[in-house]
Structure 1
Amino acid sequence: MLPVAEEAGVKLCLHPNDRPVEKKLGGVPMLFRDFENFKRAMGLDPYKNHGLDLCLGCWSQMDKSLEEVIRHFGDCDEIFYVHFHDVEGTGPRFNETHLDDGNYDSYEILRLLNEVGFTG
């Protein structure tokens, strides 16, 4: 899909598993649940149209700080879209919240995104 999408000028975004937990769903492994798996997936292809849907609610439940995630993928220009979705807690137990009532500080995230040059 990536070569065809690139040829057509289409960007594809990889979204984390929504609950980033180590399980299977219908027999399919939930691979996109941690920083290391995302680094590996993003490093597998040479296409510039392959990036991340940075779902902050999902990422805030994972194994790395959002600052590390934003700096790593932002410096690589691999953040294509940011989903300001907030939750309180981590999987398997978490609650949807309003922005700034959950796991992260929205202002700090915006500051970091600006710092790494994200313009979306």
Structure 2
Amino acid sequence: MGVVTSQERGRIRWVKLTERGEELASLLERLKGMAEVMDAYVELEEMYSKEVKNKLREEVDKEKVAKKLEELRRRVNALAGREDEVGKRAKKFLERVEEVEREAKGIVVGEG
């Protein structure tokens, strides 16, 4: 059983996903979402290590950090609305963004 079926209707060939194709497309969509969240996590932790971790409040470039956090938030926000594992991980990621933001602003003291 393949992932697509096709049917000619006049001069047009219609291509449609089979049930198996729909399942595969769904799996690929989840995989893509997970990869997006993981990429954002890597960027967040790299930025945190370079710009926030173990620095005095005065040494943190708050504007630069806020800009990067907003970019990461924007990338992952839509995924947080999902009701699957991708959504759960995206929500957890957004919580981590909030932690880093509070620490960068000096609201939380200590290591992340």
- Assess same fold via TM > 0.5: no
Decide which structure has greater helix share.
2
- TM-score, with structure 2 as normaliser: 0.28
Decide which structure has greater strand share.
1
- TM-score, with structure 1 as normaliser: 0.27
